[in-house]
Amino acid sequence: MKILPYGGAGEIGGNKILLETAKARVFLDFGVPFDRGEGIYSGFDFLDPRDKLGLRDYFEFGMEPEIPGLYSEEALKYSKLKYKAPEFDALLISHIHCDHFGDVVDVDPKIPVYLGHGAKKLNDTFNTIYYSFKSEDNGNVVEYQSGKSFKIKDIEVTPMHVDHSIPGAYGFIIKTPEGNIAYTGDYRFHGFKPEMTEDFIRLAKKTGIDWLITEGTRVKTSTDVDFRKKITEQDVEDQFCDTIKKSKGITCMQFSFRNVDRVRSLYNATKRAGKVLLCNPGFAYTVDNAGQLVSGLPEIKGNKNLKIYKKDGDIPDDEKRHLKYAAPYEKDAVDYKWVKKNLNDVVMFMSASELSQLIDIQPGKGTFVYSMSEHYIEGEEHEDYKACLENWLAHFGMDFEQIHCSGHSDMEGVQHMIDGCAPKTVIPVHTQNPEEFKKMHGNVILMERGKAVKI
């Protein structure tokens, strides 16, 4: 049997790992690499690959691997690679983050895409909200459930949930005629449900694992300095609460509501601080749809601790047509005038594109909490963003705070994953430091993008 990483080897994200047994050919994830187009398109503001021409421009610069028998006729229409009937049996998707799922749209719809039940529901929800940049599948999704095995030719796959910064995340235990594989996807132990990742380890141990393919995002990365401190999602909630209580006026919170655990932390903290949470209709729609996936999310309707904020007059008509989901939430919504009168009593969720609301609200003072990426502090590419945000906050007299915990396990957690699964061999992926794994296990296989490894 062999493993061939078309992405995810020696890099964080972009997992696209082909597993080939005597009979089956399946991909473990099919994501977009974070460095796609770097050095080719990254320097130009108005030049992008021509998506209308399918994969043509992507193949030209090696931004997508040219693999026969994988892509749809439509994706190949303008490329030199000719369409061929499918030569692959399935794509197994661990979760819907772009670096695991983003390239599925180009795959031949004759090839089934296995997606977790929760992940599918969440993806449909986000596609309704972000209609203009949908994250699409290939139209042939087969839903799986945690703990329920299925067969693909000579392999048997058991998905098992793990804790990550998006709900509906799973790893896979794969039995093959030549031995058993555990593929972790992305995981952590410090969210609200660390026991889910422990369930994965327990199943792996019980099955007996020959090869553990594990992520290692935070295995010795330079961007990890501040977050090496042990901060859990519960700590984030507590720090949110303290900050809200101390704030001299409005508290604004910025993060992606795809991180539904963070939504829960924000709501709990706001309620504990005795304030009202203001959110946009997309946030509310996500909470209503993710209720079955994450326990402890608030009720939206009739909740005295939560109100919907409606932006004023800046939504173009053609956009409104796509925002039907928002209408029921906007009925009892409040606007900036209401916020101005209640500055000391509100906590406001504020995406980057909603910063303009500060012009209407004129907060005068208060606190702005950035709760997103650990890369913010050190990442060079974010320096411009940071500088602009600082100018905005200085302009409106607001203090800046950063409160965050990572979606990925720290190094100790990865060691715990390795020790718990007790595999014969470890294969690191989704890490920039695969060499480090040699200190964590006696038998490590290092992979390179595009190079097959026999196992």
The residue among 99 and 137 lying less far from Zn ion, judged by its C-beta, is: 99
| Residue 167 in contact with Zn ion, rule: CB under 5 A | no
Out of 29, 64, 186, 261, the residue judged to bind Zn ion by CB under 5 A = 186
Stretch that binds Zn ion, among 90-98, 176-184, 225-233, 297-305 (CB under 5 A): 90-98
- Closest approach of Zn ion to the CB of residue 408, in Å: 8
Cβ within 8 Å of residue 206, ≥6 positions away = none
The residue among 99 and 108 lying less far from Zn ion, judged by its C-beta, is: 99
Residue 165 amino acid letter: S
The residue among 289 and 409 lying less far from Zn ion, judged by its C-beta, is: 409
- Closest approach of Zn ion to the CB of residue 103, in Å: 13
Name the nearest CA neighbour of 123 among 106, 100, 146. 100
- Closest approach of Zn ion to the CB of residue 164, in Å: 6
Out of 36, 56, 97, 404, the residue judged to bind Zn ion by CB under 5 A = 97
Q: How far is it between the farthest Cα atoms of the chain?
A: 69
- Closest approach of Zn ion to the CB of residue 68, in Å: 27
Name the nearest CA neighbour of 183 among 28, 366, 342. 28
- Closest approach of Zn ion to the CB of residue 12, in Å: 7
Q: Which two tokens stand for residue 272?
A: 């504990």
The residue among 8 and 281 lying less far from Zn ion, judged by its C-beta, is: 8
Stretch that binds Zn ion, among 37-45, 184-192, 200-208, 417-425 (CB under 5 A): 184-192
Out of 5, 13, 65, 171, the residue judged to bind Zn ion by CB under 5 A = 13
What track of x and - describes contact with Zn ion for positions 349 through 368 (by CB under 5 A)?
A: --------------------
Give the sign of the dihedral formed by CA 100, CA 101, CA 102, CA 106.
Answer: positive
- Closest approach of Zn ion to the CB of residue 89, in Å: 23
Stretch that binds Zn ion, among 122-130, 182-190, 238-246, 354-362 (CB under 5 A): 182-190
> Cβ(206)–Cβ(50) under 8 Å?
no
How far is it, in rounded angstroms, from Cα 187 to Cα 88? 27
The residue among 27 and 309 lying less far from Zn ion, judged by its C-beta, is: 27
> Cβ(169)–Cβ(200) under 8 Å?
no
The residue among 35 and 360 lying less far from Zn ion, judged by its C-beta, is: 35
In three-state secondary structure terms, 210 is coil
The residue among 218 and 310 lying less far from Zn ion, judged by its C-beta, is: 218
The residue among 89 and 224 lying less far from Zn ion, judged by its C-beta, is: 224
Name the nearest CA neighbour of 424 among 255, 106, 205, 270. 205
What track of x and - describes contact with Zn ion for positions 50 through 89 (by CB under 5 A)?
A: ----------------------------------------
- Burial category of 31 from C-beta neighbours within 10 Å (exposed 0-12, middle 13-18, buried 19 and up): buried
- Closest approach of Zn ion to the CB of residue 115, in Å: 14
| Residue 103 in contact with Zn ion, rule: CB under 5 A | no
How far is it, in rounded angstroms, from Cα 360 to Cα 63? 43
The residue among 164 and 271 lying less far from Zn ion, judged by its C-beta, is: 164
How far is it, in rounded angstroms, from Cα 271 to Cα 28? 41
Out of 57, 99, 108, 163, the residue judged to bind Zn ion by CB under 5 A = 99
Stretch that binds Zn ion, among 43-51, 74-82, 179-187, 378-386 (CB under 5 A): 179-187
Cβ within 8 Å of residue 186, ≥6 positions away = 94, 95, 97, 100, 162, 164, 165, 169, 215, 217, 407, 408, 430
Q: Strand pairing partners for 159?
A: 172
The residue among 99 and 401 lying less far from Zn ion, judged by its C-beta, is: 99
- Cα 346 from chain centroid? 28
- Closest approach of Zn ion to the CB of residue 293, in Å: 15
Give the sign of the dihedral formed by CA 10, CA 14, CA 16, CA 17.
Answer: positive
- Closest approach of Zn ion to the CB of residue 119, in Å: 11
The residue among 199 and 215 lying less far from Zn ion, judged by its C-beta, is: 215
Stretch that binds Zn ion, among 11-19, 61-69, 139-147, 286-294 (CB under 5 A): 11-19
> Cβ(115)–Cβ(107) under 8 Å?
no
Cβ within 8 Å of residue 287, ≥6 positions away = 260, 263, 297, 298, 300
DSSP H or E segment with residue 322: none
Q: Which residues bind Zn ion (CB under 5 A)?
A: 13, 97, 99, 186
